[in-house]
Structure 1
C-alpha cells in the first residue's frame, strides 16, 4: 500500500531540469502560436495590424525605448515606465502603511473594531472604478487622483486582512504578555507586529494586480505620460506593435514586484514560509 501511495502523481516531484522545461513550455507554446497566427494573417494582408510580426514589434520597441522623441527629447518608453512606477509605488506604499496600522488597531482593540470594522468592510466593497470621476472632480487631474484611486482600491482590503490576522493570533500569547506586565502598546509592537508583517507582504502581493488595473485605468482617462496613457493613446491607430510590448512590459514589472516581495518575505521571515511547496 505504501509503495502505491508513493507512485501517485501528487507525490512525484519534478527534477530541476524538468521543472525548468515545464516552466518554459507554456511560454514557448504561446510564442509559437502567435508567430504562426501572425504569419498567416500577414501572408493574406501585409498591412494587417492585429498581429504584427516580431520584426515590427522590435522596430516599435526600438523607436519608443531607444530613440529620442523629437518633440520632447525624452525616451517615451522609459519616461512612461518611470511615471507609472512612481504612481503605483507611492499608492501601494501608502496602502500598506495605512492597512497595517488600521488593521492592527482593529484587530487588537475591541473599541476601535466596533467603530471602524463595519465602515471598512463597506468601503472595501465600493468599486473603485465607479468613484473615479469623483476622485478627478475632488483632487483634479494631477498625480493625487491617480494615487488615491490605488489607495482606495487596495488599502481597505489590506486593512481587513491585517485585522483578520490579528484576531487569529493565539489569545494565550496576548494574555501571557499582559501577565508579564506588557502594556497594550508593547503587546502591539513586540507580540502582534512581528507576526503579521509577513502577512502584510503577502497581502500587498495579492493586491498588486488590482493596483495595476486601477493605475492603467486612471492613466488612460487623465494623464500626459505613463504606460496606461501610452496604450490608450496609440489604440486609435490600431498600433498593436506598440500595445503588445507595453502590455508585456507591464506584466513583467508586476511579476518583478511580486517576486521581489516574495524574496524579501522569505529573507526576513523564513519561519513564515516553512512547509510551503517548493
Structure 2
C-alpha cells in the first residue's frame, strides 16, 4: 500500500496527535534539568515542581491585595472580553458578507472597502482605539472586533459568491423575493461557513486580546503575563501560556462540534 493511502487507526491517531507534545515536554525537561544542574536558581527554564507550586498558589489561594483567586479571575476577565469581541465580530461580518456577496450594488462599494480595511494592521491602530474608546473594556473588545471582522467578512463574501447562480434563479422562479433568497438560501450557507472561519480566526482574536491586556488592563491573562515578566517569573508565564493554549483548543473543539451538530449537511463539516 502506498504511503499516501495509509490511514491511522483510532489509537494511532491519538498517539500521532500527542507525539509532538510529548517530544516538546521531553526536550524541555532535559534542557531544564541541565540548566538547573548548573544553576539551581535559574529562572529561564524552571522545573515542573516550581511551576506546579506557582500555579497552585494562583489557582487555589486568594490574593492578599484583591481577595481574588488570580488564575480564575484573570481567565474570567479575558474570556468575557474575547467572547464579546468574537460575538460582535461574527454578527457584523455575517451582515457584511451577505451584503457584499449577495447584492452586486452593495458589493461594488463594500468589497473594495473590506479589502482595504483588512490590510490595516490592527495593532497599529491600538493607540487610536485607546484615545477614542478610553482605557477601559471597550477598547479591548473593539480591537478584537476590528482585527477579525474584515477578514471574516471577506471570507463570508467569497463563500456567498461561490453559491451557484442557478440556485438564485430557481428560488426566484418559485416566487422568492430578495430577502427570502437571503434567509432561505444564503444565510444557512454562510452560517455554516462562519463556524469554520471563527475556528481559523481564534488565534488572531487571542493575539489581539493579549496585546490589549498587556498595554492597558488591571486583570486578564495577558495582563498577568506581562506583569510578572519584569521578575522573569517563567514558572508563571509558561503555565499561563499553556492555559491560554488549552482554552483556545477547547473553543476550537467546541466550534467544531457545534458545526457538526447544527450543519451536518455542510461540506467540510468534519474538518
Give the structure 2 partner of residue 4 of structure 1. none
Question: Structure 1 residue aligned with 2:83, among 70, 79, 89?
Answer: 89
Contact 1:266 1:273 in 2 (8 A): no
Partner of 2:65: 71
Any idea what the Cα deviations from partners look like across 1:63-103, whole Å, max 9, x if unmatched? Answer: 11100001111000000000000001000011011000111
CA RMSD of aligned residues (A): 1.1
Name the stretch that deviates more: 10-19 or 233-242. 10-19
Moved over 3 A (4+): 273-277
SS of alignment partner, residue 270 of structure 1: coil
Segments of structure 2 that go 5 or more residues without pairing to the other structure are none
Post-superposition Cα deviations, 1:88-139, rounded to whole Å, max 9, x if no partner, equal 1000011011000111011111111111111111111100000000000110
The separation in 1 between residues aligned to 2:104 and 2:258, in whole angstroms, is 32
Structure 1's 108 and 275: CA in aligned 2 closer, same or farther, altered over 3 A?
closer
Match of 2:115 in 1: 121
For residues 45 and 139 of structure 1, what CA distance do their matches in structure 2 show?
A: 47
Q: Distance between the aligned counterparts of 2:234 and 2:189, measured in 1?
A: 46
Q: For 2:259, what is the secondary structure of its paired residue?
A: helix
1:237 is the counterpart of 2:241: no
Q: Does 1:155 align with 2:149?
A: yes
Report if the CA contact (8 A) 2:260-2:269 is conserved: no
SS in 2 for 1:185: helix
With structure 1 as the length reference, what TM-score do the two structures score? 0.95
Matched, 1:212 2:206: yes
1:167 Cα deviation from its structure 2 partner:
0.8
TM-score calculated relative to the size of structure 2: 0.98
Tell me the equivalent position of 1:3. Answer: none
SS in 2 for 1:272: coil
Q: Indicate conservation of the 8 Å contact 1:154/1:210, yes or no.
A: yes
Q: Which whole-Å CA distance do the structure 2 matches of 1:102 and 1:21 have between them?
A: 42
Deviations 1:138-178 (A, max 9, x none): 10000000000000000011110111111110100001111
Partner of 1:31: 25
